[in-house]
């Protein structure tokens, strides 16, 4: 087997975002594109000689080819061992777990999360560090710098490794260890949750629909929910990962998981509905006739986590991203827990989890997780919900109603304006920024502003500061509106407007969120001039 040194040149635009490098699949398939980036990762981490890495992905188009290239480059770089999920599959949380459990030096996850897959869709690669979490900015900055000065990469000339069979083989001097992608993750879940109680729940006739959206959680959910816990066969649907996710958009929200929503709102709804995204880190929870917002889900999990054995000793603290509703804060205040407010992006939770300051965290963008791994974890959230339902013997609706009665209901909605002209979106944000000091006291659509600021975060663990993380406006009565430009949009700019208002009177907690928030929505439009700046009369997406 020859080790080749291939001459190359820097390729423009290989700057990793919050979730690694994401591009159109055809871009990744261009000559040297993948190789340049992988070699730059090796450079940024001081090479891979003697190291152990984890490798897997969500099964999207090009996942299998990319895995072979990465293995040959790891071997050429002198890596000691690469632990690969069978079929080159690993959900993002399972990869995070393997890195931690096996004491690996890091790992590469091949995924573009909830973005569609296929030769004309998206592909991505993300490097996670030894704590199992996404590489911090100093590492991704080094990767980017390396992509701009690369002159050559090294790769072994070799046959493909058979990734279909569990076991060890060699690629040059490197060991390739193919593992069952589910086994270690399932063992971790069994250690956290009362599987006997959940098994008993299903034995008593509890019904479930889990929509894996043709993505990576299919094998995990089938093995754990149907295999180990005894949910009826067929409870997990769209369970076979396909390279193009069945032509769908594997994003678990009421729009993209519409068939599940329709079922849950109809006469044949099972007791519990859930879905997860392409790489298995996001989740959606639905009760019979009732969608649970990610912000409410996080608050319910925080209030009841002690019912699961893994959290029986209580929580060290909790954390949420800034635009996520204050429902979590209400639980934290009642239970005497520290509650951290971080900028959008899972990476901001890493230090809090590593330092033992937070046990549970979550985001309005359908991510929930805990210190069991360093990624958000879709199936984990589903299992914690099931454990809580089993232990409390309540329906989702009863649990939520009781939660609101105890802590209040934070009515919440996010309005997205997609594909907005980038300059117009910037002008809207700058217009708000310029008026922050003068807004308090002024009324918009009949609501007076009490305070306004631009969110900045000082990390209490490493002292780093993140500025410009969204504009917040509070109104009389406590309602809050947040304006933020998406960091993940691909076409033009996406303006996100997050609205919330607290209702403590149980008699008024059963309303439709859009209706309950109508006054706040009108005030948001008036204060920012959304219509004037964007030319839009209504959002593209309301969740
Ligand atoms: C990714 C990150 C999440 C984050 C989300 C925000 O999914 O993993 O942690 O909440 O992006 O996306 P946005 O489009 O609002 O910037
Ligand atoms: Zn994801």
CB of residue 57 inside a 6 A radius of ligand 1: no
The angle, 0 to 180 degrees and rounded to 10, between the axes of the packed helices 195-203 and 378-392 is 70
**pLDDT tens digits for range 474-488:** 999 999 999 999 987
Q: For residue 81, report the distance from its CA to the centre of ligand 1, in Å.
A: 32
Distance 378 CA to ligand 2 centre (A): 9
Calpha distance 15→260 (Å, rounded): 36
- Using pLDDT thresholds of 50, 70 and 90, give the confidence band for residue 347: confident
Packing angle of the helix pair 294-304, 327-335 (nearest 10 deg): 10
Active-site residue list: 113
State mean pLDDT over 176-200: 98
Q: Do residues 175 and 81 touch, judged by C-beta distance below 8 A?
A: yes
What's the confidence (pLDDT) of residue 209?
A: 98
Question: Which ligand places an atom closest to the C-alpha of 217?
Answer: 2
* Mean of all residue pLDDT scores within the chain: 96
Whether pLDDT at 168 is above 70: yes
Give the contacts of 538 (CB within 8 A, at least 6 positions apart): none
d(CA 76, CA 170): 12
* Calpha distance 384→15 (Å, rounded): 36
Report if pTM > 0.90. yes
Identify which of 325, 346, 362, 416 to mutate to test ligand 1's pocket (most ligand atoms within 8 A of the CB): 346
Q: How far is the CA of 431 from the centre of ligand 1 (A)?
A: 24
**C-alpha 390 – ligand 2 centre gap (Å):** 27
pLDDT at 240 over 70: yes
Sign of the CA dihedral with 261 first, then 267, 268, and 273 last = positive
Ligand 1 in reach of 40 Cβ (< 6 A) = no
Is there an atom of ligand 1 within 6 Å of 19 CB?
A: yes
Percent of the chain whose pLDDT exceeds 70: 99
pLDDT, tens digit (0-9, with 9 covering 90-100), for 376-418: 999 999 999 999 999 999 999 999 999 999 999 999 999 999 9
Judge whether residue 422 has pLDDT over 90: yes
> How far apart, in whole angstroms, are the C-alpha atoms of residue 520 and residue 429?
18
Bridge partner residues of 410 (DSSP): 502
Work out which ligand 1 atom sits closest to the CA atom of 494: 14
Mutation pick for ligand 1 pocket among 136, 347, 367 (CB with most ligand atoms within 8 Å): 367
Q: Which atom of ligand 1 is nearest to the CA of 484?
A: 15
Q: Give residue 341's pLDDT band: very low, low, confident or very high (50, 70, 90).
A: very high
Indicate if the pLDDT at residue 249 is higher than 80.
yes
What is the token pair recorded at 422?
Answer: 């980038």
- Do 469 and 359 form a contact (C-beta atoms < 8 A)? no
What the block records as the tokens of 313 is 């000793």
Q: Is the CB of 543 under 6 A from ligand 1?
A: no
Q: Which of 233, 284, 264 is nearest to 114 (CA)?
A: 284
Task: State the pLDDT confidence band at 489, using cuts at 50, 70 and 90.
Answer: low
Instruction: Give the pLDDT band (50/70/90) at residue 136.
Output: confident
What is the pLDDT at residue 83? 98
Phi, psi (deg, nearest 5) at residue 357 = -85, -30
Ligand 1 in contact with 541 (CB < 6 A)? Answer: no
Residue 365 near ligand 1, beta carbon < 6 Å = yes
| CA 252 to centroid of ligand 2, rounded, Å | 10
- Ligand 2 centroid–CA 483 distance in Å is 23
CA of 282 to the centre of ligand 2 (A): 5
Confidence of residue 13 (pLDDT cuts 50, 70, 90): very high
- Contact between 56 and 279 (Cβ < 8 Å): no
- 480 is written with which tokens? 């809050």
Ligand 1 atom with the shortest distance to the CA of 19? 8
Q: Is the CB of 486 under 6 A from ligand 1?
A: yes
314-340: average pLDDT:
98
C-alpha of residue 181 to centroid of ligand 1, in Å: 25
Instruction: Tell me the pLDDT tens digit for each residue of 31-87.
Output: 999 999 999 999 999 999 999 999 999 999 999 999 999 999 999 999 999 999 999
The residue contributing the CA closest to ligand 1 atom 4 is: 345
Atom 13 of ligand 1 has which residue's CA nearest to it? 486
The pLDDT, as a whole number, for residue 492 is 83
- Name the residue at shortest CA distance from atom 2 of ligand 1: 345
Cβ–ligand 1 contact at 226 (below 6 Å)? no
18 CB under 6 A from ligand 1?
A: yes
By alpha-carbon position, which residue is closest to atom 15 of ligand 1? 486
Distance separating alpha carbons of residues 304 and 393, to the nearest angstrom: 13
The pLDDT value recorded for residue 429 is 98
Report pLDDT for 157: 96
Q: Which spans in 342-441 are helix H?
A: 350-354, 378-392, 396-407, 422-435
* Ligand located closest to 251 CA: 2
Decide whether any atom of ligand 1 lies within 6 Å of the 496 Cβ: yes
Q: How high is the pLDDT of residue 488?
A: 75
Q: Which H or E run contains 286?
A: strand 283-287
The answer to whether the CB of 55 falls within 8 A of the CB of 107 is yes
pLDDT at 1 over 80: no
Domains of the chain (ranges plus CATH)? 2-181 (3.40.120.10), 185-407 (3.40.120.10), 409-542 (3.30.310.50)
What does the pLDDT average to over 1-22?
92
**Residues around the ion ligand 2 (C-beta < 5 A):** 113, 277, 279, 281-282
Mutate to test the pocket of ligand 1, among 488, 490, 497, 543 (most ligand atoms within 8 A of CB): 488
Of ligand 1's listed atoms, the one at least distance from the Cα of 113 is: 7
Q: Which atom of ligand 1 is nearest to the CA of 363?
A: 10
- Residue 455's contacts (CB-CB under 8 Å, 6 or more residues apart) are 322, 343, 469, 470, 471, 472, 482
CA of 320 to the centre of ligand 1 (A): 13
Distance CA 359, CA 461 (A): 15
Q: What is the pLDDT of residues 218-227, one digit of tens each?
A: 999 999 999 9
């Amino acid at each position: 087997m020859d080790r080749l040194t291939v001459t190359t040149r820097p390729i423009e635009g290989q700057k990793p975002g919050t979730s690694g490098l994401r591009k159109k699949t055809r871009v990744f398939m261009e000559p040297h594109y993948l190789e340049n980036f992988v070699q730059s990762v090796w450079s940024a981490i001081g090479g891979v000689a003697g190291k152990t890495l984890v490798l897997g992905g969500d099964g999207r188009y090009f996942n299998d080819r990319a895995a072979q290239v990465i293995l040959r480059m790891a071997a050429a770089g002198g890596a000691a061992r690469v632990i690969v999920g069978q079929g080159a599959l690993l959900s993002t949380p399972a990869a995070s777990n393997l890195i931690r459990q096996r004491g690996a030096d890091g790992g590469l996850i091949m995924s573009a999360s909830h973005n569609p897959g296929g030769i004309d869709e998206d592909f991505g690669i993300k490097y996670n560090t030894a704590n199992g979490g996404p590489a911090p900015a100093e590492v991704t900055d080094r990767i980017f710098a390396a992509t701009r000065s690369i002159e050559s990469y090294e790769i072994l000339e070799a046959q493909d490794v058979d990734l279909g069979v569990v076991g060890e083989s060699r690629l040059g001097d490197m060991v390739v260890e193919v593992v069952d992608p589910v086994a270690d993750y399932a063992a971790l879940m069994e250690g956290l949750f009362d599987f006997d109680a959940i098994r008993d729940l299903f034995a008593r006739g509890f019904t479930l629909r889990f929509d894996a959206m043709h993505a990576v959680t299919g094998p995990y959910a089938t093995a754990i929910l149907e295999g180990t816990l005894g949910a009826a066969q067929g409870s997990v649907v769209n369970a076979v990962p396909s390279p193009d996710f069945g032509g769908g958009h594997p994003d678990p929200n009421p729009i993209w998981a519409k068939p599940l929503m329709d079922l849950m709102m109809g006469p044949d709804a099972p007791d519990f509905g859930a879905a997860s995204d392409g790489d298995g880190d996001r989740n959606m929870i639905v009760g019979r006739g009732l969608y649970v917002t990610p912000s409410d889900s996080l608050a319910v999990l925080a209030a009841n986590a002690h019912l699961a054995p893994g959290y029986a000793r209580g929580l060290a603290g909790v954390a949420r991203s800034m635009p996520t509703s204050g429902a979590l804060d209400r639980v934290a205040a009642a239970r005497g827990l520290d509650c951290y407010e971080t900028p959008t992006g899972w990476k901001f939770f890493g230090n809090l989890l590593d330092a033992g300051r937070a046990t549970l965290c979550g985001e309005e963008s359908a991510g929930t997780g805990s210190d069991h791994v360093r990624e958000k974890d879709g199936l984990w959230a589903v299992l914690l919900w099931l454990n809580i339902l089993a232990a409390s013997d309540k329906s989702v609706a009863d649990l939520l109603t009781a939660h609101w009665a105890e802590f209040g209901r934070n009515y919440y909605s996010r309005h997205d304006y997609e594909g907005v002209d980038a300059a117009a979106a910037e002008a809207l944000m700058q217009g708000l920024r310029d008026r922050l000091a003068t807004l308090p006291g002024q009324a918009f659509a009949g609501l007076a502003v009490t305070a306004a600021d631009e969110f900045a975060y000082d990390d209490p663990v490493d002292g780093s500061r993140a500025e410009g993380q969204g504009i917040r406006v509070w109104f009389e009565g406590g309602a809050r509106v947040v304006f933020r430009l998406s960091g993940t949009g691909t076409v033009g700019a996406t303006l996100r407007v997050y609205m919330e208002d607290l209702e403590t009177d149980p008699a008024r907690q059963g309303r439709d969120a859009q209706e309950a928030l109508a006054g706040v929505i009108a005030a948001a439009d008036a204060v920012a001039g959304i219509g004037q700046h964007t030319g839009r009369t209504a959002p593209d997406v309301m969740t």
